[in-house]
Amino acid sequence: MASPAINVVFNKRYLIPLLLFLLTAITTTIAGALWIVPVVGGLEVSQIPEGIPYSVSILAILGFHEFGHFFAAKFHRVKATLPYFIPFPTLAGMLNFGTMGAVIRTRSPIYNRKALFDIGIAGPIAGFVVSLVVLIYGFQTLPGKEFILAIHPDYFNSVSSSGGLSLEFGENLLFVILRHFFAVSPDGFIPPMSEIYHYPYLCAGWFGLFVTALNLLPVGQLDGGHIFYGMFGEKVQEIVAWIIMFLLLVAGGTGVINQFYDTGISYGWTGWFLWALLLYFVVKVKHPPVMDNEPIGFTRMVVGYFGILIFILSFIPTPFFITG
């Protein structure tokens, strides 16, 4: 019979991640339903299953990302927790994807740059591949105009009576490329960026690329910090991290200014300023040193440059435009 102490450890190790996953499945399903169901007087229980395609897609992207880290850690005999999914309930008037992502924690030191690099790169590549599959599937299975008309009956009217706030997602290079080569619609209607959040696979895939790019910033103990430290060492990582921090502050400051003045500069988002503060105070800018600084070798360097390419293709200078 298992001792109480063993049961407590078991519960912490497995029960908490499972409960967080289930909660995130609920919050993302509700968020997905709210993206696509015209809600008048509240979401009905019968409408909630409409959010399942979005929820499954986003959980798959986040899950593959975090389990990429997890299995890389296991390969290098680094102790790590199971993924902790972070649920986020829908709040009135707030942009919400139903989750704030997912994380794992390493529970033992990482002693060399090769292990650090492998653990850092495995998650973004896994999440990127799933995001790619979700987006291609979404573009290949676009519904016709009747889908958007069910949400916005007056969408194609020359005069809109909405008069409210308008949300538009920003584009990254990969989204543009995939749309060009894979978008297929029965009647030729390809949704603009101001409407893709109504399309569950496009919304989840876009979110997956956005989260991947955030994690690939070469700052502190983000995935990008692990990768750059593994590839180039401590000094280069620190220099690049401070450059990135400066650019984030500039982009965030530009976003703040654009809230009050029409500068004509489309680059910038207030969220970058907040993200820079979070990185500085919580994640930190400089990656902590590892004991063994042996170079990672040619093959890993090639994989690392592929990770940098993923960042370039996935990064969105202005993720959100909100007007009205």
Rg of the chain on CA atoms, in Å: 21
Instruction: Please provide the distance, in angstroms rounded to a whole number, between the alpha carbons at the two ends of the chain.
Output: 63
Please give the structure tokens belonging to residue 32.
Answer: 């997905």
Say if CB 85 and CB 21 are below 8 A apart: yes
CA pair distance 130, 125, nearest whole angstrom: 9
Q: Has residue 323 got a pLDDT over 70? A: no
- How much is the pLDDT for 164? 57
Beta strands in the chain (DSSP E): 84-87, 99-103, 166-169, 320-323
118 vs 266, more confident? 118
- How much is the pLDDT for 262? 74
The DSSP output letter for 287 is P
Segment among 6-15, 56-65, 266-275 with least mean pLDDT: 6-15
- The Cβ of residue 182 has, within 10 Å, a number of other Cβ atoms equal to 14
Q: Has residue 1 got a pLDDT over 80? A: no
Average pLDDT for 199-214: 97
In the chain, where are the structural domains located?
4-155+162-323
Average pLDDT for 209-227: 97
- How much is the pLDDT for 9? 54
- The Cβ of residue 23 has, within 10 Å, a number of other Cβ atoms equal to 16
Average pLDDT for 195-205: 96
- How much is the pLDDT for 198? 94
Average pLDDT for 292-318: 96
Say if CB 103 and CB 84 are below 8 A apart: yes
The DSSP output letter for 77 is T
- How much is the pLDDT for 126? 98
Percent of residues, the chain, with pLDDT higher than 70: 92
To the nearest whole number, what is the mean pLDDT of the chain? 91
Average pLDDT for 225-237: 97
CA pair distance 55, 162, nearest whole angstrom: 28
Model confidence pLDDT, tens digit, residues 96-147: 899 999 999 999 999 999 999 999 999 999 999 999 999 999 999 999 999 9
- How much is the pLDDT for 246? 96
Give 245-259 as a DSSP string: HHHHHHHHHHHHHHT
Average pLDDT for 77-97: 87
- Looking at residue 87, its amino acid is P
Say if CB 282 and CB 295 are below 8 A apart: no
Average pLDDT for 24-44: 87
Q: Torsions phi, psi of 128, nearest 5? A: -65, -45
Beta strands in 212-286 (DSSP E): none
Q: What burial class does residue 36 get, using C-beta atoms within 10 Å of its C-beta: 0-12 exposed, 13-18 middle, 19+ buried?
A: buried
Contacts of 113 (CB under 8 A, 6+ apart): 229, 230, 233, 290, 292, 293, 294, 295, 296
- How much is the pLDDT for 161? 46
- How much is the pLDDT for 39? 67
Average pLDDT for 273-285: 93
CA pair distance 17, 258, nearest whole angstrom: 40
